[in-house]
Structure 1
Amino acid sequence: MKFLKGQRGQTSVEYVMLIAVMVTIMGSVLQTVKSSILGDAKNCAPNSTAIVCSFQRSFNIEDLRYFTIRR
């Protein structure tokens, strides 16, 4: 029992497990944020709140293709 009472702090195995859990949680959160905020540029619904879809609705590609720079 003296062996168990003498240990203090975390071991490297506990740190590795903690990092693995944090990476897993961050990966799932970032995937959710990516799909809800950025969206898919090829599949934009009319009522989508994704940034890519709102940009496509705001700007017509034809307007951006032919513009002149005045001197």
Structure 2
Amino acid sequence: IAATTSVQMVRDRGHRFAEEIENLPIILGGYEEVQGKKSESIDIEMFNLKGGTRKVTAIFEALGLGDDL
């Protein structure tokens, strides 16, 4: 478990993510979804799976984790 906090160890195991990521693990608690002028706060625990794959992919891309998908 301790190895998951080491960015270099995680990279050495073949995971790919943005060079800007300096700390692991990345913990998601919620996010703000904006469409036009409408904005909605989303609690990750209450995540609606309608369109979920696109949303999760977009979240991972924004966090710099897209290369590992």
- State whether TM-score is above 0.5: no
Q: What is the TM-score when the length of structure 1 is the normalising length?
A: 0.21
More helix by share: 1
More strand by share: 2
